[in-house]
Structure formats: structure tokens, C-alpha cells
Amino acid sequence: MTDPLEEIEFLARSPNRIRVLETLSSGPHTRGELQAAVGASQPTLARILGDFEEREWVKSQDGTYETTRLGSFVASGFRSLLSVMETESRLREVAGLLPADRFDFGLERLSDAEITTPTRADPGGPLNRALELARGAETHRIVSYVLNHEMLETVDEATAAEDQSFECVVTAETVDLLGSEYDAWRRLRSLAGAEAASVWVTDREIPFAVGVADDTVYLFLRDESGLLRALVESEDPAVRSWALGAVERYRTASEELDRSALGEPP
């Protein structure tokens, strides 16, 4: 029996082999068409096709090459492996900050994710991107253990202008903190009284900070000291379903904030 790891290495160590197999898995090609598509020399192409025919991954007829069922199977599996490794590579920097134990989806669902991290040119990049998503949303939902002043201002202005419907679930501790500073108190009171907004307060712990701006989910990733390290955003349906479900679960265990409960301004 052939060693599977050796076969993986056989493919992985040659980009030309991968390209030939991928190209043929999409449909029959002549050698000339393969050379144009792959960019390999004729001697290299001849060696690759010979190796593939020996493994019964490729067959030829009248000068045309195509994958066998076995070859198509290998191409599909290798494509999946590449996708996994590409996703892993992109998530590696932030993997330790993801609340993965709270997800009801696999990490492969984050293969389309956009990751914004602070840079020297834009140290506030993650927050700025979240605010951009928030400003452009017609429907906006949040469940979080924190609600910063910039986001509070953004959603207050959007709902006041009737550009957005907004719903959020936050902890009682967050409300107490916001209520201790005048501008935040004023914004929170405005949201609590707006027709297009509702603020829900829970005594339960919320271990993550996630928003859903129309079809886009954005997830704040903070380190143990509370510093914002990244924003992960995704439009994957499974990720969106999880995020909306989280909002609903925490909302049903919450009470809607009455503006009178905020008391007098600090």
C-alpha cells in the first residue's frame, strides 16, 4: 500500500503538479492547452502526466488528457486540505482569542473571514472597521460585555435619523459603567427611548462581543488585559445564524432598559 503522506508530499512539493491536476479536474485538455494554462515546460509536463497516468489519476485519448474518477477524488480532497491550511494560516494570529468553545459551527466557516488588526498607520483599525459597518447598516444587532462610546454614539445617531433599527443586549455592569459618564448616559438614555432601538440588560455573563450589521457578522477579539487585538468579520450563513441566535438567547434572559432606570445625569 502506498504511504498517504508520501503521496501528499508528492503533490505538495510541486506547484506544477497541483496546477495540472486542478486544471484537468475542470475538464479535458490537450498538452498545448495544459502548457498554456499551467506555464510548465513540455519536458516537465510530460513527466507530470506520466506520473499521474502511472497512479491512474489521469487518462489520455487522442491527445487529450482528463482526470479519472480517482484523479478527481484526489483533486477534490487536496483542494479541501489546501482550504483548511489557508484558513488555519489566516486565523493563526487570532486563534487563541476566538471564543471557539461558544461556536456551534466549525472553523472552516471562517474561511471567508476578513481580519482587521491594529497597525502603526491605523492603531484603531479594528474599531474603525466596526464603526464603518455599523454606520452603513439598516439593521444592527449586538450582544456584548462592553459598549464603547464611539459605537454608542454611532448607533444613537443612526437610530435618531431613522436610518437604522438597532437592538443590543449588554450586561448590567456595562450599563452601570456607561451611566456614570454624562455623554454616554445621554446616548444610552436616547437609545432607550427611541422607537427604532431597544437595549436589553442581562445579569448573565456575556463572554464575547459580537455584532450583526445586516448580513455581516463582526467579532471583537480582546486579550486578557482587555486590549482590542482584532476584528473578525464574516458573511457566512452559519456564522450569521450563530450570532443572531446568541442575540436572541441573551435577549430572552434579559429585561429591556427603561430610560427612567438610568436616573439623574451624573
Span 160-206, pLDDT tens digits: 998 999 999 999 999 999 989 999 999 999 999 899 999 999 999 99
Q: What is the pLDDT of residues 88-141, one digit of tens each?
A: 998 999 999 999 999 999 999 999 899 999 999 999 999 999 999 999 999 999
Tell me the whole-structure pTM to 2 decimals. 0.84
Residue 228 clears pLDDT 70, i.e. is over it: yes
Secondary structure E strands in the chain: 29-30, 58-61, 64-67, 114-116, 139-144, 165-171, 197-202, 209-213, 216-222, 228-234, 255-256
The band of 1, judged by pLDDT with boundaries at 50, 70 and 90, is low
Domains 4-88 and 99-262 share a fold: no
Instruction: Provide the 8-state DSSP code for 110.
Output: G
Residue 43 clears pLDDT 70, i.e. is over it: yes
Phi-psi label, residue 75: left if phi above 0, alpha if psi -120 to 50, beta otherwise: alpha
Distance between alpha carbon 98 and the CA centroid of its chain, in Å? 11
Bridge partners of 66?
59
**Mean of pLDDT values over 5-34:** 94
CATH annotation of 4-88? 1.10.10.10
Q: Take residue 215 and report the three cell numbers written for it.
A: 448580513
| Dihedral of alpha carbons 92, 93, 97, 99, sign | negative
Q: What is the pLDDT of residues 237-252, one digit of tens each?
A: 999 999 999 999 999 9
**Mean of pLDDT values over 19-24:** 95
**Mean of pLDDT values over 207-235:** 96
Q: Quick one: 2 exposed, middle or buried, by C-beta within 10 A (0-12, 13-18, 19+)?
A: exposed
Q: Which helix (H) or strand (E) is 136 found in, with range?
A: none
The band of 19, judged by pLDDT with boundaries at 50, 70 and 90, is very high
Task: Report the C-alpha gap between 207 and 255 in whole angstroms.
Answer: 19
Topology given in CATH for the domain delimited by 99-262: Endonuclease; Chain A (3.30.870)
Instruction: Give the 3-state secondary structure of residue 127.
Output: helix
Ordered by start, the domain boundaries in the chain are 4-88, 99-262
Give me the torsion for CA of 180, 182, 187, 188, rounded to 10°: 20
The band of 263, judged by pLDDT with boundaries at 50, 70 and 90, is confident
Task: Report the C-alpha gap between 260 and 266 in whole angstroms.
Answer: 14
